[in-house]
């Protein structure tokens, strides 16, 4: 019997049983049985791993455990490290429940449901013809609605709407009756007023005799108002003076510079002696005294009325004097020694917090302040002495944004500064002002900082901010004097030439007999060939091996070494004994099978300063390793010859 699933139905074309297992896991999740849900997900992952092996032609091993099969898929390069991690997370959770009698909670079950779905999406994109498949968002399992309950709910809604309509109809009728009564009363009172006026109003002849002739000035005052003048109409359509003041304040906050902003006002047509004017609203900064600027003689002599104080003011001026105003303000700024360093955005900080206190809970508390905007601004947080783990200018064309990864003390957090790419790089330690934002990626929501201000850290001594120096032992490879021929190991002639150097991650020494050395070449020994079971951990290692062994041939297998997760590599680096330098970087790199640049990137994340070329972020360096392991051997041969 096929069971329906909201999240896994796209896998039905591959194997209906996969869908059934996932759907049962969803049902047990609904029944609040997290343990059985995870056990079903483990069965789902086991079946999926076997399907992957079958679709890639991987030979079947009788009674092979799930762990061994996953490791074999990873070694053969069939699955990536990310997919490998997802398989292991489901496998470990299922084993703990079955063998350790551990009770799981609904949060863990929901997380593993999402992990299983990611595996299903990867499998479908990899082994179906629909390479552009777009999965719908993950749907949290919900209990099906009882049709009887739904009918009752619809009936209740219909009754509620009918009652509301009846009440509205009654209210409308009552309002209409009151309106008719009011109109009748109005007409009655107007009739009484007309009757009273007829009794006391003089006749036209008496009015003419008793009313003195008005003067021309009185005629103008008593005459009906004409249509609004052109200037009055435009004034009403333009910016209100209060709005101009608000805009001026916002501009000062945004750019940190004194702001003079004005609105044009045309002269009245019936006053030919008047001229077009501009009404200014002014806001200053601490170094720029607004009232003194307005009273400065070259400015005062060209304006009309005006006034203000140190921080703000306003005045009116003939529009023809705009250029003179600019010149006068330049002279005032020069006289007061206003410097470019005084021009900096002003940021109103609401609260100072430690970056380790930033969490989804705090973001949810801030969301309760919504809607934010004019009159209810987003809260601005401030943190001092924050270490920058990595930074990058992102964006297309001329618009670049500054993307940061910051150390929280117990982890890391991402931050984005829109249109600040030109300021990259920023100092290693910064004081930062920011707003909290929700960053959604697939089905995961995390907190991200929207940066509104950055400065070099001031809160601690520079000695504490400075990176800790770490001495490395690292030598560039010597010059290659002999260039070998490259070939895939599967296409190489048999037997392979000897003497032979076998090199690579988990290389099978037992498969190669005769004059074979493993990993480290002997001094003064020229080798006929090198077999790379996997590529070396870095290009530098490759250069060293070719320069030292001078082989005639290089044969490359298609095996790919595993790449650790970011967290696992960080833990390895933290376990290092760094109290006894120098650190032999090439040996450590070969021991861990990690590129030297990735190790240095991790050390720099921990605040160490290393004499080593620039590195990317740790995440980007691991991605480079993945691309290195997938490089075409012909391309690699060309790079070696050109290096």
pLDDT digits (tens, 9 = 90+) for 625-638: 988 988 988 888 88
The answer to whether the beta carbons of residues 261 and 280 sit under 8 Å apart is yes
Give the up-direction half-sphere exposure of residue 596: CA atoms within 13 A in the CB hemisphere.
Answer: 20
The two structure tokens encoding residue 485: 């021929």
Instruction: Give the position of tokens 């829109």.
Output: 418
Q: How far is CA 265 from the centre of its chain?
A: 45
Longest pairwise C-alpha distance within the chain: 142
Q: What digits encode the pLDDT tens for the residues 577-608?
A: 877 778 889 889 989 999 999 999 888 887 78
Average pLDDT of the residues of the chain: 81
Least confident of 197-211, 362-376, 462-476, 572-586: 197-211
Distance between start and end Cα atoms, the chain = 62
The two structure tokens encoding residue 619: 């995440």
Top-ranked range on mean pLDDT: pick from 123-127, 149-153, 166-170, 199-203 = 123-127
| Number of other CB atoms surrounding residue 606 within 10 Å | 17
The two structure tokens encoding residue 69: 């099969």
Please provide the CATH number assigned to the domain covering 351-462.
2.40.50.460
- Examine the pLDDT at 333 and tell me if it is beyond 90: no
Nearest by Cα to 449 from 469, 434, 439: 434
Q: What digits encode the pLDDT tens for the residues 277-317?
A: 899 999 988 888 999 999 999 999 999 888 889 888 999 99
DSSP string, 425-441: SPPSEEEEEEEEEEEEE
Q: How many H helices and E strands in the chain?
A: 21, 19
Q: Can you give the residue ranges of every domain in the chain? A: 9-127, 232-342, 351-462, 467-643
| Number of other CB atoms surrounding residue 331 within 10 Å | 14
Angle 413-414-419 from CA coordinates, rounded to 5°: 150
Q: What are phi and psi of 473, to 5 degrees?
A: -105, 110
The DSSP letter of residue 494 is: S
Please provide the CATH number assigned to the domain covering 232-342.
3.10.310.30
- Examine the pLDDT at 231 and tell me if it is beyond 50: no
Is residue 232 very low, low, confident or very high in pLDDT (cuts 50, 70, 90)? very low
The answer to whether the beta carbons of residues 50 and 59 sit under 8 Å apart is no
The pLDDT of residue 145: 52
Q: What digits encode the pLDDT tens for the residues 129-144?
A: 776 778 888 888 876 5
- Examine the pLDDT at 269 and tell me if it is beyond 80: no
The answer to whether the beta carbons of residues 2 and 20 sit under 8 Å apart is yes
Calculate mean pLDDT across residues 313-341: 88
Instruction: Give the position of tokens 């010149």.
Output: 327
Q: What digits encode the pLDDT tens for the residues 186-230?
A: 676 666 656 654 544 444 433 333 334 444 433 333 333 333 333
Q: What CATH topology corresponds to 9-127? A: 1.20.120
SS3 455: strand
SS3 633: helix
Give the up-direction half-sphere exposure of residue 428: CA atoms within 13 A in the CB hemisphere.
Answer: 13
The two structure tokens encoding residue 95: 């084993």
Is residue 147 very low, low, confident or very high in pLDDT (cuts 50, 70, 90)? low
The pLDDT of residue 1: 54
The pLDDT of residue 219: 34
- Say which residues have a Cβ less than 8 Å from residue 252's Cβ, sequence separation at least 6: 258, 259, 283, 284, 285, 346
Domains 9-127 and 351-462 share a fold: no
Q: What digits encode the pLDDT tens for the residues 20-72?
A: 999 999 999 988 889 999 999 999 999 999 999 888 888 778 878 889 899 88
* Threshold 0.95, pTM exceeds: no
Q: How far is CA 227 from CA 232, 235, 274, 408, in A?
A: 10, 14, 20, 66
Q: What are phi and psi of 274, to 5 degrees?
A: -85, 160
H or E stretch at 318: strand 312-318
Q: Which long-range contacts (CB under 8 A, 24 or more apart) does 128-133 make?
A: 128/13, 128/14, 133/10
The pLDDT of residue 557: 93
Q: What digits encode the pLDDT tens for the residues 390-433?
A: 888 888 766 788 999 998 877 889 999 988 888 888 888 899 99
The answer to whether the beta carbons of residues 583 and 597 sit under 8 Å apart is no
The pLDDT of residue 267: 65
H or E stretch at 278: strand 277-283
Percent of the residues in the chain that have a pLDDT greater than 70, as a whole number? 81
The pLDDT of residue 610: 85
The pLDDT of residue 616: 83
The answer to whether the beta carbons of residues 470 and 580 sit under 8 Å apart is no
Burial class (CB in 10 A: 0-12, 13-18, 19+), 353: middle
Is residue 233 very low, low, confident or very high in pLDDT (cuts 50, 70, 90)? very low
Least confident of 110-124, 174-188, 233-247: 233-247
Top-ranked range on mean pLDDT: pick from 83-92, 194-203, 229-238, 464-473 = 83-92
């Amino acid at each position: 019997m096929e069971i329906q699933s909201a999240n896994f139905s796209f896998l039905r074309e591959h194997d209906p049983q996969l869908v059934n297992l996932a759907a049962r896991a969803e049902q047990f999740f609904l029944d609040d049985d997290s343990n059985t849900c995870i056990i079903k997900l483990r069965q789902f992952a086991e079946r999926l791993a076997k399907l992957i092996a079958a679709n890639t032609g991987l030979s079947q091993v009788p009674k092979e455990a799930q762990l061994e099969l996953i490791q074999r898929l990873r070694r053969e390069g069939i699955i990536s490290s990310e997919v490998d991690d997802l398989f292991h997370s489901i496998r470990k959770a299922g084993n703990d429940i079955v063998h350790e009698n551990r009770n799981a909670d609904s949060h863990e079950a929901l997380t593993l449901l999402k992990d299983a779905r990611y595996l299903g999406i990867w499998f479908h994109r990899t082994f179906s013809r629909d390479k552009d498949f777009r999965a719908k968002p993950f749907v949290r399992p919900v209990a099906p609605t009882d049709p009887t309950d739904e009918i009752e709910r619809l009936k209740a809604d219909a009754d509620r709407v009918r009652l509301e309509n009846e009440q509205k109809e009654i209210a409308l009728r009552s309002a209409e009756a009151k309106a008719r009564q009011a109109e009748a009363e109005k007409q009655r009172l107007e009739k009484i007023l007309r009757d009273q006026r007829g009794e006391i109003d003089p006749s036209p002849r008496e009015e003419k005799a008793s009313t003195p002739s008005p003067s021309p000035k009185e005629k103008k005052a008593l005459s009906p108002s004409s249509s609004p003048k052109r200037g009055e109409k435009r004034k009403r359509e333009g910016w209100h003076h209060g709005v101009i003041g608000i805009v001026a304040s916002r501009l000062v906050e945004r750019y940190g510079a004194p702001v003079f902003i004005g609105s044009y006002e045309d002269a009245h047509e019936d006053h030919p002696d008047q001229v077009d004017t501009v009404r200014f609203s002014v806001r200053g900064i601490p170094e720029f005294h607004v009232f003194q600027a307005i009273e400065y003689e070259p400015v005062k002599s060209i304006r009309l009325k005006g006034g203000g104080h140190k921080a703000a003011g306003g005045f009116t001026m003939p529009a023809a004097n705009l250029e003179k105003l600019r010149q006068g303000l330049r002279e005032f700024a020069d006289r007061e020694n206003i410097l470019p360093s005084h021009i900096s955005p002003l940021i109103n900080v609401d609260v100072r917090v430690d970056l380790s206190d930033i969490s989804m809970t705090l973001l949810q508390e801030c969301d309760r302040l919504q809607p934010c905007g004019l009159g209810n601004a987003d809260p601005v947080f401030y943190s001092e002495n924050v270490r920058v783990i990595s930074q990058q200018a992102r964006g297309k064309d001329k618009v670049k944004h500054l993307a940061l990864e910051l150390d929280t003390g117990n982890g890391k957090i991402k931050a984005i500064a829109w249109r600040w790419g030109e300021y990259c790089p920023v100092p290693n330690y910064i004081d930062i002002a920011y707003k909290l934002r929700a960053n959604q990626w697939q089905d995961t929501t995390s907190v991200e900082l929207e940066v509104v201000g950055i400065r070099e850290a001031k809160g601690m001594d520079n000695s504490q901010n400075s990176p800790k120096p770490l001495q490395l032992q690292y030598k560039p490879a010597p010059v290659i004097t002999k260039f070998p021929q490259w070939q895939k190991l599967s296409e190489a002639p048999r037997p392979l030439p000897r003497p032979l150097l076998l090199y690579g991650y988990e290389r099978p020494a037992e498969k190669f007999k005769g004059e074979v050395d493993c990993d480290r070449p002997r001094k003064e020994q020229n080798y006929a060939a090198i077999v790379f079971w996997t590529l070396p951990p870095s290009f530098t290692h490759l250069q060293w091996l070719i320069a030292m062994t001078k082989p005639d041939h290089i044969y490359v297998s298609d095996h790919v070494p595993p790449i650790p997760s970011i967290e696992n590599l960080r833990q390895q680096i933290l376990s290092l004994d760094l109290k006894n330098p120098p650190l032999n970087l090439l040996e450590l790199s070969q021991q861990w099978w990690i590129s030297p640049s990735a190790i240095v990137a991790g050390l720099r994340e921990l605040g160490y300063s290393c004499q080593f070329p620039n590195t990317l972020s740790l995440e980007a360096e691991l991605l480079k390793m993945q691309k290195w392991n997938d490089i075409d051997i012909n391309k690699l041969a060309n790079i070696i010859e050109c290096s």
